[in-house]
């Protein structure tokens, strides 16, 4: 009987490790509970966490009245075999936009979780008493059922280890950067447009320099340390970093590591308003980059952003202002022509009175701003107008940021990356200029604090002016958009509400006409799945 008990424990142990993958996924997407983000997610998603098949472990409360150990073991084994296949099927049907990355940190967390499980079951096995078997199963079942908190406990236990690992790699990165005295260091921040700006600037600068930009959205301290330690070498001329933040002081910490000489501030908007609370706090946080620049540095700023114009800059660095609207700017764009094939516009440099016409595959005013700021810095770093024009033509479409794709006979405008009020409005305006049937697929916008309902309702009103059909993803999440559509008296027959974006693609095919453009606006992280 003891051997069968050990087998049953091993089966439950395997299920625990399998089930924990989801908890680690959410922990990772919530920055390993930095500022209590994972705890907040758990408090808002308790139904997802606990309404599942393995709640049936409570059956062992009833088995207390049945003195049949063999029956208990059989029930326990069947419960967790069935739970495994049920949970596996559920995960297969879920849409995972950003899968769990099994990093060294996640592996260490798994080891800690295994140790915690072994601490519980070892004494049961070595002091096995058949009369307590239902109590054993109740305790094991409770640990598995509460695995979300078990993962949180493992994360708390590992904090001192992670701090040591962090300090080790931070010191390595600092020493490496200290030795790279000729390296040109550029940092980019803003509420949105950071990744697009980074990739655009990298494509342009690579015409003249050996330029390296941090990968994907590596915009945290860990991401920058990985980039420095693993990617920079003696052949790198230019290092372009993206800097993100959820609170004041974070960008200053990143600047203290990188020591950028050049900075680009894209735009100050309302992204992460739930953590910053006010736009003024966002303004102060983003200007930590510009205020950190040395006196011989260069800041590239947006004159069309009032939150940049009215800020009193503390650094004595050179300020270069760009604009699409004001010819008083140091570098300004004019004659902007947008089409389904891309964008062309004229750039004028006020100091030299030189100008150049640029062409790009990228769409929308947002990308014109991004290119304009990149061009302004490239010009100040010694690229001539011919090199700049060549670099702009080379810019590759940026994944999930107004990226034009083909899906059968449908033209997809993929703007799936983390939507915000300004970006969403620009994306809808890009869709509006296309000729043919216009469809939008969106789950709306998040992390906008108390103004989230207001911004999403306004988004619904903007959609109503442009779109022939609207596909909303997530009934609860998109209610404000639906309210905005209704206030605009939009025909409800053309509104479709789905709970999974996968279902949108066959629906798009049914709704499409001869010439159809579909805007995919925002693709929420897995933590927002309904």
- Segment 372-392, tens digit of pLDDT: 999 999 999 999 999 999 999
Residues in the chain: 530
- Tell me which H or E stretch contains 497: strand 495-498
Please write down the HEC assignment for all residues of 397-431: CCCCCCEEEEECCEEEEEECCCCCHHHHHHHHHHH
- Segment 423-436, tens digit of pLDDT: 888 889 889 888 88
State how beta strands 331-339 and 354-360 pair: unpaired
Q: Which of 494, 527, 526 is nearest to 510 (CA)?
A: 494
- Segment 212-249, tens digit of pLDDT: 999 877 889 999 999 999 999 999 999 999 998 888 89
Residue 530: pLDDT band with limits 50, 70, 90: very low
Distance CA(74)–CA(135), nearest Å, equals 15
pLDDT mean over 505-511: 90
Domains in the chain (CATH in brackets) are: 2-157 (no CATH), 180-394 (3.40.1190.10), 403-528 (3.90.190.20)
Q: What is the pLDDT of residue 527?
A: 36
- Segment 119-148, tens digit of pLDDT: 999 989 988 998 888 889 999 999 999 999
Phi, psi angles (nearest 5°) of residue 343: -140, 145
Encoded tokens for 266 = 């894209």
Q: In what order do the strands lie in the sheet with 410-415?
A: 403-407, 410-415, 516-521, 437-442, 469-473, 495-498
Encoded tokens for 411 = 């033209």
Distance CA(12)–CA(68), nearest Å, equals 20
pTM of the model: 0.78
Q: What is the residue whose two structure tokens read 């209590």?
A: 36
DSSP state of 502: G
Would you say 345 and 335 are in contact if contact means Cβ atoms under 8 Å apart? Answer: yes
Encoded tokens for 276 = 């910053």
Would you say 468 and 519 are in contact if contact means Cβ atoms under 8 Å apart? Answer: no
DSSP state of 100: P
Report, in this order, helix, strand and coil percent for the chain, each rounded to 5.
55, 15, 30
């Amino acid at each position: 009987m003891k051997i069968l008990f050990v087998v049953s424990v091993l089966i439950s142990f395997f299920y625990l490790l399998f089930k924990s993958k989801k908890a680690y996924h959410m922990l990772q997407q919530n920055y390993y509970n930095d500022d209590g983000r994972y705890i907040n997610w758990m408090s808002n998603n308790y139904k997802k966490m606990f309404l599942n098949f393995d709640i049936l472990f409570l059956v062992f409360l009833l088995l207390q009245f049945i003195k049949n150990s063999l029956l208990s073991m059989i029930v326990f084994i069947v419960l967790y075999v069935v739970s495994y296949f049920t949970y596996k099927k559920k995960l297969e049907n879920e849409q995972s936009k950003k899968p769990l990355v099994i990093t060294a940190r996640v592996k260490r967390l798994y080891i800690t979780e295994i140790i915690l499980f072994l601490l519980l079951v070892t004494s049961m096995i070595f002091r096995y008493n058949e009369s307590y078997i239902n109590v054993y199963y109740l305790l094991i079942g409770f640990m598995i059922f509460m695995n979300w908190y078990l993962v949180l406990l493992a994360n708390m236990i590992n904090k001192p280890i992670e701090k040591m690992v962090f300090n080790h790699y931070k010191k390595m990165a600092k020493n490496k950067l200290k030795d790279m005295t000729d390296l040109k260091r550029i940092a980019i921040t803003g509420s949105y447009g950071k990744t697009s700006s980074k990739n655009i600037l990298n494509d342009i600068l690579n015409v003249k320099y050996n330029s390296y930009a941090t990968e994907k959205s590596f915009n945290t301290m860990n991401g920058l340390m990985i980039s420095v330690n693993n990617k920079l070498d003696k052949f790198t001329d230019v290092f372009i970093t993206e800097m993100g933040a959820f609170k004041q002081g974070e960008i200053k910490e990143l600047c203290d590591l990188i020591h950028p000489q050049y900075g680009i501030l894209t735009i100050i908007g309302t992204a992460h308003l739930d953590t910053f609370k006010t736009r003024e706090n966002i303004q102060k946080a983003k200007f930590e980059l510009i205020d950190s620049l040395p006196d011989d540095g260069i800041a590239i700023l947006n004159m069309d952003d009032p939150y940049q114009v009215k800020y009193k800059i503390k650094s004595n660095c050179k300020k270069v202002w760009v604009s699409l609207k004001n010819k008083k700017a140091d570098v300004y764009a004019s004659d902007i022509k947008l089409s389904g094939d891309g964008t062309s516009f004229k750039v004028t440099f006020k100091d030299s009175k030189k100008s150049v016409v640029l062409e790009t595959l990228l769409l929308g005013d947002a990308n014109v701003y991004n290119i304009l700021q990149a061009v302004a810095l490239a010009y100040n770093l010694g690229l001539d107008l011919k090199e700049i024009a060549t670099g702009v033509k080379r810019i590759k479409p940026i994944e999930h940021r107004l990226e034009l794709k083909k899906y059968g006979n449908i033209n997809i405008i993929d703007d799936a990356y983390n939507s915000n009020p300004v970006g969403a409005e620009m994306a809808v305006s890009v869709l509006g200029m296309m000729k043919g049937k216009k469809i939008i697929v969106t789950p709306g916008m998040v992390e906008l604090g108390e103004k989230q309902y207001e911004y999403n309702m306004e988004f619904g009103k903007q959609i109503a002016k442009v779109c022939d059909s609207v596909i909303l993803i997530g009934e609860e999440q998109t209610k404000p958009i639906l309210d905005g559509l209704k206030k605009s008296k939009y025909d409800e027959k053309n509104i479709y509400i789905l709970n999974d974006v996968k279902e949108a693609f066959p629906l798009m095919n049914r709704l499409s006409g001869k010439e159809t453009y579909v805007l995919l606006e925002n693709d929420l992280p897995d933590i927002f799945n309904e």
